[in-house]
Structure 1
Amino acid sequence: MLDIPVPAHPTTLADWLDHAERLHPVTIDMGLDRVQRVAQRMGLTLDCPVIIVAGTNGKGSTCAMLEAVYTQSGYRTGVYTSPHLVHFEERCRIAGESVAQEELLPAFAEVEVARRGQAGDEGGEISLSYFEFTTLAILRTLSRSGLDVAILEVGLGGRLDAVNIIDADCAVITSIALDHMALLGNDREAIGFEKAGIMRTGRPVVVSDPVPPQSVLDRALEIGAELWRLGKDFHFAGDQQQWGWAMHPSHGGRRYAGLAYPALRGANQLVNASGVLAAVEALRGRLPVTAQAVRTGLALVELPGRFQIVPGTPTLVLDVAHNPHSVAALAANLDAMGFYPTTHAVFGAMADKDLAAMLDRIAPLVDRWHLTSLPLPRASTAAALAEQLEAHPTCRGRVAGRHDTPMDALRACVATADPADRIVVFGSFYTVGGVLQDGVPRMSAKHLSA
């Protein structure tokens, strides 16, 4: 018998991620055929109720609130979300904790073996994108973790996203806005159709967008999904102290009154929390949840980078807002914070974003801009951002600096800001992640200049 050498697998997570980045000719390759074939070779299934969350904004917050409520009910949760802020392992949480690197390694190896195939496998070796490869590895890790419920966030779109190889027991569609238009379509109707691809016949779909595209409603009717719609099947109302939520009598009429506001800041979080409660009700027959678990879960939920206010002076706000809709929400939240003598911005963004529309919404609130390059090819450089800001009438003359990294930009802000000022870091996950590399920064010029 010939002794045929088997190529050695990577032995660290960093090496596996480098390997996954080199496999496929393009970074984003929409379609399920390749990833489905590898999943079939792996025999990949999730043997627990699955909630899949799609949408333009609010996905991460929705996943975090679902996780918190189910954790408080005593269930073992598994969450897949992307992208990460600092460490890749943040994408996979089991029982509320990020998975350890070594727990992911066997799953990466299994994906690689299945991708390469064996003699007789139809199609031979299959090329996977970085997102497809890592999604399969995380789904395999979740499948072996003894979960009571799996909560999966769609990476991009829905219909052709790798997460959609799993059938959702309950789908959640959050707010839909204009983003990734080169891949998903030029208007909300086209983008909504892509998001609606996570629906399944006869299963509940919670739509928490207050004004959903007609394409979402049409798709639910076409395939016979059980539609739960904000403002029609469930609703919420609140004042400055508390809020309440109720289902329509046709869905059981359950109510929650006197709820504390979710721990995640921002007015838009009530919309997300309302969708979360609808999803909880939709799956109540399989995953019973107590009223106390709802109250405690929403009160304790944490998610870095979503209108996160860091204690200290000057005030520091971290927000991953990266498209016009989410930047508008950020601007409204900043406006509600009250008066600050000067607002400084640390801003870095991808080159394909609608920068003019983002600036229209937030520029009136920003006095000084510190622009940063980001460490990936899709990102705009600080110099390119500066050119665009100088062309915007509200930003002209307000660019205070160009920097190589978000942390460099933050240090420059702190060095020039008064203690009573405010600094907001936004524009991309990579912008916020760049200032969280060494943990949440302590806001002092002495610390950040070290």
Structure 2
Amino acid sequence: MAGVGSSTWGLAQWLEYIESCHPGEIDLGLDRVSQVATKLEINLNKSFVFTVGGTNGKGTTTRLLESVFSAAGLVVATYTSPHFQHYNERIRLAGQDISDQDLCRCFAQIEAKRSDIPLTYFEYGTLAALLFFTQTAPDVAVLEVGLGGRLDAINIIDADISIVTTVSMDHMDWLGDTRDAIGFEKAGIFRSEKPAICGDLDPPQTLIDHAQSIGSHLYLRNVDFSIFEKDESWDWKGRNQQGETLEFFDLGMPSVPLQNAATAIQAILLSPFCVTEAHMRSGLSNASLTGRMQMLKLNQSQCILDVAHNPESAAYLNSALSKLPPKQTHIVLGMLADKDIGQVLQTFSLEVEHWHLVSLNTPRGATATQLQAFFKDYAPNHLDKITLYSDVSSALTYLAQQLSEQDRVVVAGSFYTVTDALTYLTSP
């Protein structure tokens, strides 16, 4: 192999290299990434920056912001994680994934400047995104937090508007084992004298207190903005930059959770850009996201992919499925072993024809047998509706041969599960 940083390196070589550079997958803290960012002269002052954190809904809120601002004619950049099939998905500019060439160039520039400062895989990617946005100066940059907020690499950037979508129990080994502890970590992205928005209906007091202590202008759902859901449309009410009350009536139902759409609208109306109601309606109707109630086909059967992996996101998936025309539902479930598997199972109140449990071949992945063990305590009525598989593709291969258009397949439980399903479903 050529020397580190060689111009002959392709993206696969760079990704292999940056994955090997740090012994830990996660190493929260801002010191190392800040030092390298300073050397790279990273500066997003030419862009209006949104930072999006929260337990669930970060990806859809980011996509909503991108879609609406794009409809208004602005150049939008987004940084999200993880990716599904291609690393380039993480960094987007003007609706397009970053090219291999630009990504490799950014990695090479980071490597040339970092000296002996160790960086994690996520920190390399974050710096590449921030460097690319510094060089391209989009009108709007939307940065999705990777984990938590206060000590996440994204937090080296001061956001013009910060968003916390929801606060739930997840990643407790890193963020704390109470909602108050987790809420404080997520509130770490707020900035003094800047708007901060929380879409959670019951925000932890620590989040509210932190916003007050640093002088953030906090906007809360059902206090400062709200939604009214109707049969086939919804209304929104909130405030603009000047503090004036605004209302939108009979908005079309988006393909993403309404609570995230409501939060995104409030954030957009606090920005300095001219976004009309027509832009808003267009952006909301066009916003969709891979792996979030994504509808595909498995032969003749409807196949829905959703990354729901904790009780809150599973509850949304259960609700969304209950609103669809009735079909016999087969759930392909694969999860990481450190997730709240039992509570996720309990959340599914809809009638499930059969559970197809799959092993995830990743270091933190649960085996199908481990998943099955939770049914005795959390879903005992479903014990006779379980089949085990070695992987996602085995389950989908079986279902493709057995099911008809009267059936519905739902693939859920993890980004890994959905990624494997996407690979299977999109392969020639």
Q: Does TM, normalized by the shorter one, top 0.5? A: yes
Query: Within the alignment, does 1:320 sit opposite 2:311 as a pair?
Result: no
> One-letter code of the match for 1:21?
E
Q: Within 5 Å, give how 1:136-155 maps onto structure 2.
A: 136-155=127-146
Q: Give the alignment partner of residue 251 of structure 2, picking from 231, 256, 259.
A: 259
Residue 178 of structure 1, CA deviation: 0.8
Where does residue 274 of structure 1 map in the other structure? Answer: 262
Residue 363 of structure 1, CA deviation: 6.4
Give distance in 2, aligned partners of 1:50 and 1:106: 23
> One-letter code of the match for 1:361?
T
Residue 357 of structure 1, CA deviation: 0.5
User: Contact (CA 8 Å) 1:242, 1:261: kept in 2 or not?
Assistant: yes
> One-letter code of the match for 1:81?
T
User: Contact (CA 8 Å) 1:313, 1:419: kept in 2 or not?
Assistant: yes
Give distance in 2, aligned partners of 1:424 and 1:306: 11
Give distance in 2, aligned partners of 1:157 and 1:320: 18
Change (3 A) 1:438 1:369: closer
Give distance in 2, aligned partners of 1:329 and 1:108: 37
Percent of aligned pairs with the same residue? Answer: 40
Instruction: Give the total of aligned pairs.
Output: 422
Where does residue 232 of structure 1 map in the other structure? Answer: 223
Query: Within the alignment, does 1:293 sit opposite 2:293 as a pair?
Result: no
What's the secondary structure of 1:365's corresponding residue? coil
Give distance in 2, aligned partners of 1:86 and 1:260: 30
Query: Within the alignment, does 1:14 sit opposite 2:12 as a pair?
Result: yes
What's the secondary structure of 1:303's corresponding residue? coil
Residue 348 of structure 1, CA deviation: 1.0
Give distance in 2, aligned partners of 1:350 and 1:114: 36
Q: Give the alignment partner of residue 385 of structure 1, picking from 371, 394, 409.
A: 371
Residue 381 of structure 1, CA deviation: 2.2
Moved runs in structure 1, 4+ residues, more than 4 A? 5-8, 438-441
What's the secondary structure of 2:142's corresponding residue? strand
Give distance in 2, aligned partners of 1:92 and 1:408: 32
Give distance in 2, aligned partners of 1:58 and 1:376: 24
User: Which stretch shifts more, 250-259 or 352-361?
Assistant: 250-259
Residue 24 of structure 1, CA deviation: 0.9
Change (3 A) 1:8 1:184: closer
Q: Give the alignment partner of residue 153 of structure 2, picking from 152, 162, 174.
A: 162
Give distance in 1, aligned partners of 2:29 and 2:5: 29
Deviations 1:232-255 (A, max 9, x none): 111121311222212258721122
Give distance in 1, aligned partners of 2:358 and 2:90: 25
Deviations 1:132-154 (A, max 9, x none): 11111121112222300000110
Where does residue 23 of structure 2 map in the other structure? Answer: 25
User: Contact (CA 8 Å) 2:293, 2:306: kept in 1 or not?
Assistant: yes
Change (3 A) 1:143 1:418: same
Residue 20 of structure 1, CA deviation: 1.1
Give distance in 1, aligned partners of 2:413 and 2:184: 26
Where does residue 339 of structure 1 map in the other structure? Answer: 326
Give distance in 1, aligned partners of 2:162 and 2:226: 18
Where does residue 389 of structure 2 map in the other structure? Answer: 402
Where does residue 98 of structure 2 map in the other structure? Answer: 99
User: Contact (CA 8 Å) 1:108, 1:137: kept in 2 or not?
Assistant: yes
Residue 439 of structure 1, CA deviation: 5.8
TM-score, normalisation: structure 1: 0.89
Give distance in 2, aligned partners of 1:39 and 1:231: 38
Change (3 A) 1:211 1:337: same
What's the secondary structure of 2:338's corresponding residue? coil
TM-score, normalisation: structure 2: 0.94
User: Contact (CA 8 Å) 1:73, 1:293: kept in 2 or not?
Assistant: yes
Give distance in 2, aligned partners of 1:330 and 1:388: 20
Where does residue 419 of structure 1 map in the other structure? Answer: 405
> One-letter code of the match for 1:272?
N
Residue 418 of structure 1, CA deviation: 3.5
Q: Within 5 Å, give how 1:36-47 maps onto structure 2.
A: 36-46=34-44, 47=46
Where does residue 75 of structure 1 map in the other structure? Answer: 74
User: Contact (CA 8 Å) 1:38, 1:111: kept in 2 or not?
Assistant: yes
Query: Within the alignment, does 1:358 sit opposite 2:344 as a pair?
Result: yes
Give distance in 2, aligned partners of 1:69 and 1:385: 40
Change (3 A) 1:432 1:78: same
RMSD: 1.9
User: Contact (CA 8 Å) 2:5, 2:108: kept in 1 or not?
Assistant: no
What's the secondary structure of 1:247's corresponding residue? strand
Give distance in 1, aligned partners of 2:137 and 2:382: 52
Where does residue 317 of structure 2 map in the other structure? Answer: 330
> One-letter code of the match for 1:423?
V
Q: Within 5 Å, give how 1:40-55 maps onto structure 2.
A: 40-46=38-44, 47-55=46-54
Query: Within the alignment, does 1:242 sit opposite 2:242 as a pair?
Result: no
Deviations 1:97-126 (A, max 9, x none): 11111111110011111222xxxxxxxx11
Q: Give the alignment partner of residue 305 of structure 1, picking from 277, 282, 291.
A: 291
Deviations 1:151-182 (A, max 9, x none): 01101100011111111000011011111111
Residue 6 of structure 1, CA deviation: 6.5
Where does residue 62 of structure 2 map in the other structure? Answer: 63
Residue 391 of structure 1, CA deviation: 5.6
What's the secondary structure of 1:437's corresponding residue? helix
Query: Within the alignment, does 1:189 sit opposite 2:171 as a pair?
Result: no
Give distance in 1, aligned partners of 2:291 and 2:277: 28
> One-letter code of the match for 1:106?
R
